C-alpha cells in the first residue's frame, strides 16, 4: 500500500510528493520512479541511506545491499556496530522531514491521492489538511476515508484499476509519450535489483 499526495505550491510552480510505503519493494520503486529526492517526502523513511546504530555515521544504502540480500546483518566499516537502513520501524518517530513538510498542505492548489486505504494515521488525516477550496482527486480501487464519509463538493474520485486510471489522467494531460520515456529509462534502474 502506498499513498502519495501531489502538492503544487501556488506561486513558485514547485511541488512535492508524499510517499508512504509499507512494503519494501514499493519503497525502492518509489525512489526509482524518477521523482527527485528533493521533491519526495518518504514518510516511512527510505532504503536510500543507512545509519550506524553505534557511531551514528550515515552511509549510502547501496553499500549494504549485498548484506541484506544475503541475510547478513550489515556492520559499520568504521566501528563494526550494526547498521540499520533509514526506515521507520514500529514505535519509532517519523522522520523530521515529515514534520517539516506538513506545512506544505496549507499552500496546495491540488491534492492527488492514489492507491490507499486511508486508514493509517497520521497519513490518513493529511487528506483533510488542505483548505476546503482545494480540489482533491482520489485515484483508487475503492472510495475510502473522507471521500466516503464526509466528501467535499470539490472532490473527484476516479475508481477502479489504479494503473488504468493514471494512464487515463496522463493521456488527458498529453503526457503519454513522456510517461513511456520515463518508464523505459527508469526500468533500467530496477534491472538486477529485487523486483
- Which residues of the shown chain bind Zn ion in the complex (CB under 5 A)? 52, 54-55, 76, 78-79, 81
Confirm if 86 and 61 have CB atoms less than 8 A apart.
Answer: yes
The backbone torsions φ and ψ at residue 144, rounded to the nearest 5 degrees and listed phi first, read: -135, 165
Query: Is 55 annotated as contributing to ligand binding?
Result: yes
What's the closest the beta carbon of residue 63 comes to Zn ion, in angstroms? 12
- Choose, from 44, 105, 115, 137, the residue flagged as catalytic: 44
Name which of 19 and 74 has its Cβ closer to Zn ion: 74
Separation CA 111–CA 45 (nearest Å): 21
Query: Is 79 annotated as contributing to ligand binding?
Result: yes
Active site residue 24: no
* DSSP H/E element including 148: helix 145-149
Name which of 69 and 78 has its Cβ closer to Zn ion: 78
Name which of 78 and 100 has its Cβ closer to Zn ion: 78
Query: Is 75 annotated as contributing to ligand binding?
Result: no
Separation CA 136–CA 111 (nearest Å): 5
**Which cell numbers hold the place of 108?**
496546495
End-to-end Cα spacing for the chain: 16
What's the closest the beta carbon of residue 76 comes to Zn ion, in angstroms? 3
Query: Is 5 annotated as contributing to ligand binding?
Result: no
By CB neighbour count within 10 A (0-12 exposed, 13-18 middle, 19+ buried), where does 18 fall? buried
Name which of 23 and 55 has its Cβ closer to Zn ion: 55
Confirm if 46 and 28 have CB atoms less than 8 A apart.
Answer: no
Tell how far CA 8 is from the center of its chain: 15
Residue ranges for the known binding site are 52, 55, 76, 79
Q: Enumerate the known binding-site residues for Zn(2+).
A: 52, 55, 76, 79
Q: Which residues are catalytic?
A: 44
Amino acid at each position: 500500500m502506498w499513498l502519495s499526495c501531489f502538492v503544487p505550491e501556488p506561486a513558485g510552480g514547485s511541488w512535492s510528493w508524499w510517499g508512504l510505503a509499507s512494503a519494501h519493494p514499493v519503497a525502492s520503486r518509489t525512489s526509482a520512479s524518477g521523482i527527485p529526492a528533493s521533491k519526495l517526502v518518504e514518510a516511512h523513511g527510505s532504503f536510500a541511506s543507512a545509519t550506524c546504530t553505534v557511531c551514528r555515521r550515515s552511509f549510502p544504502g547501496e553499500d549494504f545491499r549485498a548484506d541484506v540480500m544475503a541475510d547478513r546483518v550489515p556492520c559499520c566499516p568504521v566501528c563494526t556496530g550494526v547498521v540499520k537502513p533509514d526506515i521507520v520501524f514500529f514505535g519509532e518517530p517519523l522522520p523530521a522531514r515529515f514534520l517539516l513538510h506538513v506545512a506544505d498542505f496549507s499552500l496546495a492548489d491540488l491534492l492527488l491521492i492514489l492507491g490507499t486505504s486511508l486508514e493509517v494515521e497520521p497519513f490518513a488525516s493529511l487528506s483533510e489538511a488542505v483548505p476546503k477550496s482545494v480540489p482533491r482527486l482520489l485515484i483508487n480501487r475503492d472510495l475510502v476515508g473522507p471521500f466516503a464519509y464526509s466528501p467535499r463538493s470539490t472532490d473527484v474520485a476516479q475508481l477502479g484499476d489504479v494503473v488504468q486510471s493514471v494512464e487515463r489522467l496522463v493521456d488527458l494531460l498529453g503526457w503519454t509519450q513522456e510517461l513511456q520515456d520515463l518508464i523505459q529509462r527508469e526500468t533500467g534502474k530496477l534491472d538486477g535489483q529485487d523486483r
